[in-house]
Amino acid sequence: MGPIVITQLATGLSVLAGAVVVKQVIDQIQNPMMGSGRGPRCPRCNGSGRVSCICSRWSDGDVGCRTCAGSGRMACNSCGGTGTGRPIPVQVSASNGSR
């Protein structure tokens, strides 16, 4: 392949990647409650999937434990680290009102 073909290929791929990014931004503007099309964002971690680790909350300056592997951040307990809210299963019972 010559340099012109490689340049054209790189330009085409960058245009395609730009179009994908623009589409994601437009989708996020139109429906801000949806995080990347996966579902509603977790309210506890705001969709990141990570929260401050317990070791950093009650620490005297040092950070690191087995849960966070020294990063100070652990998987969110509310969403399990996915960043999306989980629906709570609810059982609804209905009656016809007559006795």
Domain extents in the chain: 1-30, 38-85
| 46-90 confidence digits (pLDDT tens) | 888 899 888 876 666 666 788 888 888 899 888 888 888 766 777
| Pairwise pLDDT comparison (23 vs 62), residue with the higher score | 23
Query: Cα–Cα distance between 43 and 79 in angstroms, integer?
Result: 9
The pTM (predicted TM-score) of the whole model is 0.44
- Token pair listed for 69: 């592997």
Residue recorded with tokens 């085409």: 12
